[in-house]
């Protein structure tokens, strides 16, 4: 069973990222708590009119394009969008057919989100959760790793640098939200994300995968993993899924704190209208 020991470290490494921004002298931006006016880059849509999904797909793409250019309040919190820094991931998987591993990743850098294509953005009229179909031509994760366990029957114990490179990544992103009111606007509180992934190829390399044993064995093991990438991916899947979910959750949570839901969906009901209660904290 997979047990994800996540968020043991501080959720956001803000201090570190802000430090970098200050050092780089990009701290002239005056950040706001939220946007009281609709940003010019964002076309809004009406959910109770025909063609909403097409409109919404375009709106989400425009949002992504702006994240790539840089939304100051998001950059301030997370640094650049591509490559993006991700907080440490601790992870443990036992008793699976393909792997028993414990792995820690640190200094994680994920590249590829600047080529994000939004294929479809559906919003549920029932609870305003979303299903978003996303395509990335390439995603690459670089990190320092520490790993112990067994993958495809090969016992591993090592630490060092690693990367995972994924070609043609299809993501289906399931987002749960809760509406709430603030300052006369309706906001989305992004409460959970889940992703489903497909890809055409995974390439990996783990340096020092046997703690300094022969380079030749290290090379042939990495080669073996790449030749059997579908099985190897099954073993690594929880790490990859967690990384993608972490990036998307952190960014979306921030973006929807910043931009009222009204600017995405003009005719969105208020939380009171949707949940039928003045107490907007639950359904």
Ligand X SMILES: *[C@@H]1O[C@H](CO)[C@@H](O)[C@H](O)[C@H]1NC(C)=O
Per CB under 6 A, residues contacting ligand X are 90, 102-104, 146-148, 170-172, 178, 180, 189, 191, 196-198
- Provide, rounded to whole angstroms, the least separation between the CB of residue 129 and ligand X: 14
Residue 138 neighbours by CB under 8 Å, 6+ apart: 111, 112, 115, 165, 166, 167, 168, 169
Could you tell me if 139 and 110 are in contact, meaning their C-beta atoms sit under 8 angstroms apart? yes
Between CA 80 and CA 224 the distance in angstroms is 35
Neighbouring CB atoms inside 10 A of 121's CB total 25
Between CA 55 and CA 43 the distance in angstroms is 8
Task: Decide whether 85 or 102 has the Cβ nearer to ligand X.
Answer: 102
- Provide, rounded to whole angstroms, the least separation between the CB of residue 196 and ligand X: 4
Task: Decide whether 27 or 281 has the Cβ nearer to ligand X.
Answer: 281
Give the H or E element holding residue 56. Answer: helix 52-69
Tokens of 217: 């064995």
- Provide, rounded to whole angstroms, the least separation between the CB of residue 171 and ligand X: 6
- Provide, rounded to whole angstroms, the least separation between the CB of residue 187 and ligand X: 7
- Provide, rounded to whole angstroms, the least separation between the CB of residue 148 and ligand X: 4
Task: Decide whether 45 or 195 has the Cβ nearer to ligand X.
Answer: 195
Task: Decide whether 69 or 182 has the Cβ nearer to ligand X.
Answer: 182
Between CA 215 and CA 170 the distance in angstroms is 34
3-class DSSP assignment, residue 260: coil
Task: Decide whether 156 or 265 has the Cβ nearer to ligand X.
Answer: 156
Which letter does DSSP use for residue 277 in this model? S
- Provide, rounded to whole angstroms, the least separation between the CB of residue 183 and ligand X: 12
**Helices and strands: H and E segment counts in the chain:** 6, 9
Strand partners, 139: 166
Task: Decide whether 178 or 243 has the Cβ nearer to ligand X.
Answer: 178
Residue 47 neighbours by CB under 8 Å, 6+ apart: 56, 123, 125, 265, 267, 268
Could you tell me if 148 and 156 are in contact, meaning their C-beta atoms sit under 8 angstroms apart? yes
- Provide, rounded to whole angstroms, the least separation between the CB of residue 18 and ligand X: 22
Task: Decide whether 12 or 21 has the Cβ nearer to ligand X.
Answer: 12
């Amino acid at each position: 069973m997979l047990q994800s020991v996540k968020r043991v470290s501080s959720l956001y490494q803000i201090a570190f990222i802000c430090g970098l921004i200050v050092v780089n002298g990009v701290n002239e931006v005056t950040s706001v708590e939220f946007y009281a006016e609709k940003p010019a880059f964002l076309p809004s849509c009406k959910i109770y009119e025909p063609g909403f999904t097409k409109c919404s797909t375009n709106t989400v793409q425009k949002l992504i394009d702006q994240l790539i250019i840089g939304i100051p309040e998001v950059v301030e919190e997370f640094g650049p969008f591509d490559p993006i820094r991700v907080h440490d991931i601790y992870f443990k998987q036992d008793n699976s057919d393909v792997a028993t591993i414990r792995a820690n990743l640190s200094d994680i850098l994920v590249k590829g989100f600047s080529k994000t294509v939004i294929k479809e953005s559906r919003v549920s009229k029932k609870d305003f959760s979303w299903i978003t179909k996303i395509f990335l031509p390439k995603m690459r994760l670089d990190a320092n790793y520490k790993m112990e366990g067994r993958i495809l029957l090969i016992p591993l114990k090592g630490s060092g640098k690693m990367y995972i490179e994924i070609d043609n990544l299809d993501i289906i992103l399931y987002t749960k939200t809760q509406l709430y009111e603030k300052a006369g606007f309706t906001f989305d509180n992004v409460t959970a994300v889940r992703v489903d992934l497909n890809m055409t190829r995974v390439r990996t390399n783990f340096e020092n995968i046997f703690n300094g044993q022969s380079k030749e064995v290290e090379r042939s093991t990495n080669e073996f993993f790449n030749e059997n990438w579908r099985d190897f991916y099954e073993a690594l899947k929880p790490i990859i899924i967690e990384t993608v979910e972490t990036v998307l959750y952190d960014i979306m949570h921030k973006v929807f704190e910043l931009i009222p839901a009204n600017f995405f969906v003009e005719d969105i009901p208020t939380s009171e209208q949707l949940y039928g209660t003045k107490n907007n904290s639950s359904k």
